[in-house]
């Protein structure tokens, strides 16, 4: 393993070089904000369109995660699922992944949403190699990624968190240290389980009102000023044309895909089962999204509204 000193960036800047792996709807704007802040950035993604976008913004494009990390002191990843995180960092054999190529002292920040057990497995392997690992899933959606106002929920050591915080502050507005390795993932899935419940319930309530003659915007305004007030009503209404600049008013395109919400709800259920915790509302939300994603997996998760009225998709 390479043991060169990584405390100073090779370009002489006080800011470390960063490798960003995973340039999807969330990762690409996060990476762009790092470029705007003056960080040297190398990127990797399977999508040529995504890498070209970052190259035009000033990033160096690499043909593999290892090539992207070759001159980086910090690695950030935003990947779809635990199997992808495992593959990148540990490799197919568990010993031939990216971790084995990184210098001691490298800081790894994984912002994917995965099972806490998977995060702890990678963190343990990193620690044995002298690499600092943080699980740092995010909340705030693509809008927050673009605006640099994400919430980061971080699990890992206090020292690693202190090193990561200035970098995370470029991409996020609220940065929480949830606890040790895996804590970020547990907090994130608790939040997204509640979000799935709230979205399904809000869609159900609006549908009830509309089917009984109420205007969806009037009803939404009433509930916003009443005890049913919640985040989905405030900033992410699921009924078309009630609110501007949200996926429901754009054919449910963009935003947070339903299949990703289903993934997070299943992670919550898995964690609940592993720890013998009863989550009947979470289980029901997972059931609803599982049925919904059969035909609407790539639509925003607010499209659960279509369960009650399929015409909203037209």
Point out which residues pair with 135 in neighbouring strands. 110, 155
Task: Choose, from 188, 217, 259, 263, the residue flagged as catalytic.
Answer: 188
Question: Contact at 8 Å (CB) between 99 and 21?
Answer: no
Provide, rounded to the nearest whole percent, the portion of the chain with pLDDT above 90: 90
- What is the predicted pLDDT for the residue at 94? 65
- What is the predicted pLDDT for the residue at 314? 82
Task: Return d(Cα 273, Cα 95) in angstroms, integer.
Answer: 30
Question: Contact at 8 Å (CB) between 9 and 40?
Answer: yes
Does residue 188 carry a catalytic annotation? yes
Mean pLDDT of the chain: 93
Q: When comparing pLDDT for 139 and 92, which is higher? A: 139
Question: Contact at 8 Å (CB) between 119 and 185?
Answer: yes
Beta strand 18-21 pairing with 132-135: unpaired
- What is the predicted pLDDT for the residue at 52? 96
**Quick one: 63 exposed, middle or buried, by C-beta within 10 A (0-12, 13-18, 19+)?**
exposed
Buried b vs exposed e over 155-176: b needs ≥16 C-beta within 10 Å?
bbbeebbebbeebbebbbeebb
pLDDT surpasses 90 at 170: yes
Task: Return d(Cα 34, Cα 12) in angstroms, integer.
Answer: 17
Task: Return d(Cα 82, Cα 267) in angstroms, integer.
Answer: 10
Q: Among 1-5, 103-107, 137-141, 288-292, where is mean pLDDT lowest? A: 1-5
Count CB-CB contacts under 10 A for residue 230. 18
Structure tokens at 149: 């106002």
Question: Contact at 8 Å (CB) between 123 and 156?
Answer: yes
């Amino acid at each position: 393993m390479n043991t060169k000193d990584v405390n100073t960036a090779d370009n002489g800047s006080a800011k470390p070089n960063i490798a960003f792996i995973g340039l999807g709807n969330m990762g690409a704007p996060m990476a762009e904000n790092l470029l705007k802040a003056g960080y040297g950035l190398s990127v990797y993604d399977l999508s040529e369109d995504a890498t070209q976008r970052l190259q035009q913004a000033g990033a160096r494009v690499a043909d593999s995660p290892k090539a992207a990390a070759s001159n980086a002191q910090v690695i950030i990843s935003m990947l779809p699922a635990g199997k992808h995180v495992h593959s990148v960092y540990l490799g197919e054999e568990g010993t031939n992944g990216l971790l084995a190529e990184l210098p001691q002292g490298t800081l790894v920040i994984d912002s994917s949403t995965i099972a806490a057990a998977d995060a702890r497995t990678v963190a343990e392997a990193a620690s044995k190699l002298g690499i600092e690992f943080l699980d740092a899933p995010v909340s705030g959606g693509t809008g927050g990624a673009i605006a640099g106002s994400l919430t980061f929920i971080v699990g890992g050591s206090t020292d690693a968190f202190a090193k990561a915080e200035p970098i995370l502050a470029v991409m996020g507005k609220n940065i929480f240290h949830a606890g040790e390795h895996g804590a970020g993932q547990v907090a994130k899935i608790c939040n997204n389980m509640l979000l799935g419940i709230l979205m399904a319930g809000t869609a159900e309530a609006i549908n009830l009102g509309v089917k009984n003659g109420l205007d969806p915007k009037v009803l939404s305004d009433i509930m916003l000023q009443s005890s049913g007030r919640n985040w989905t009503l405030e900033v992410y209404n699921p009924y078309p044309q009630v609110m501007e600049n949200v996926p429901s008013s754009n054919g449910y395109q963009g935003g947070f895909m339903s299949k990703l919400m289903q993934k997070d709800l299943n992670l919550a259920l898995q964690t609940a089962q592993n720890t013998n915790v009863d989550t009947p509302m979470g289980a029901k939300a997972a059931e609803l999204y599982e049925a919904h994603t059969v035909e609407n997996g790539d639509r925003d998760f607010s499209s659960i509204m279509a369960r009650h009225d399929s015409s909203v998709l037209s």
